[in-house]
Amino acid sequence: MTAATTSTAATPATAAPTLVIVTGMSGSGKSVALNTFEDLGFYCVDNLPANLLPDFVRSVLAADSSAPAKLAVGIDVRNRNADLANIPDWLSAVGALGFDPRLVFFESGDDVLLKRYADTRRRHPLSQLGLSLADAISLERQVLKPLRQIADAVVDTSDMNVHVLRRHVITEFGIGLDAGMSLLFESFAYRRGVPADADFVFDARALPNPHWNAILRPLSGRDAGVREYLESQPDVNLFVEHISSFLDTWLPKLQADSTRSYATVAFGCTGGRHRSVYLAERLAAHARQRGWDEVAVHHRELD
């Protein structure tokens, strides 16, 4: 991957528009994945009839010059079997329209799916056939097997909770699809440990803590009251000034000297709710202003 940089910001190369097909087993986390893609700026549609896939892409292209360059579509066993069998042809049609289609298949073990359905008490899409839950899961796995075989990526979510899955989507699919290095700004609580894959870690525990304000305590760093409080503190603004200068200097150098697709900048505080969240949001906004096109935010203790 070739990275183009200036002394202050990155200029990613132009890439083909992306279409991610989110598919897989019911209960494996497809809805979480699709919601995460939407948070990353993808134009998302769930449960699209598979035969409408090329028409959907054409309609987006025909909209106007500001048509979204990143699409994500959920397609699953609720489609007719014949339509699912034709997905390879429709993916080829999408490619002919200039999009780069990616098929991501989510799955979990049968025992995990049985437990998740028992916990949520939701009905399986194939239960309308009069099947037991175990038989419905078995039939779904059989019906979707051809899609799994042609998938660009298979994600086993058996050992993932919602937060881990969301972060996996962000780092593996959401911000690494375009050319150039992308950035993930993450907040965390030190009492739960430092994120293992963080490239830069900044400690905000020396800054004034909104936790000690009874009005601000139940809020988070995404709320206006907390933002206003922190922005009124000289030490917070000085901290942001120093970190902004550091990142403006060293992130382009990291991009120029490596082949990695993304970098993680982590901010930690005691509870991972106020200071670190505010800083991750503010520095992510700063990065976008500096020209980084692919910027995502993840709040480990909130998301």
Region class of 151: left (phi > 0), else alpha (psi between -120 and 50), else beta: beta
Phi, psi of 106 (to 5 degrees): -105, 135
Residue 24 annotated in ligand binding: yes
Binding site annotation covers 27?
yes
User: Residue 7, annotated ligand binder?
Assistant: no
Inter-residue contact 110 to 27 (CB < 8 Å): no
Encoding tokens for residue 80? 């007719």
- 193 assigned to a ligand binding site: no
Q: What are phi and psi of 19, to 5 degrees?
A: -125, 115
**180 annotated as belonging to a binding site for a ligand:** no
Reference 210, options 269, 268, 265; nearest CA is 269
The Cα–Cα gap between 158 and 110 comes to 9
- Residue 288 among known ligand-binding residues: no
123 among annotated binding-site residues: no
- Does residue 130 have a known ligand-binding role? no
Residue 158 among known ligand-binding residues: no
Whole-Å CA distances, 175 to 171, 217, 252, 260: 6, 32, 17, 12
Q: Which helix (H) or strand (E) holds 22?
A: strand 18-24
Q: What is the dihedral of CA 112, 113, 114, 120, to 10 degrees?
A: 110
145 is in an annotated binding site: no
What residues form the annotated binding site?
24-31, 76-79
What residues form the annotated binding site for ATP?
24-31
What residues form the annotated binding site for GTP?
76-79
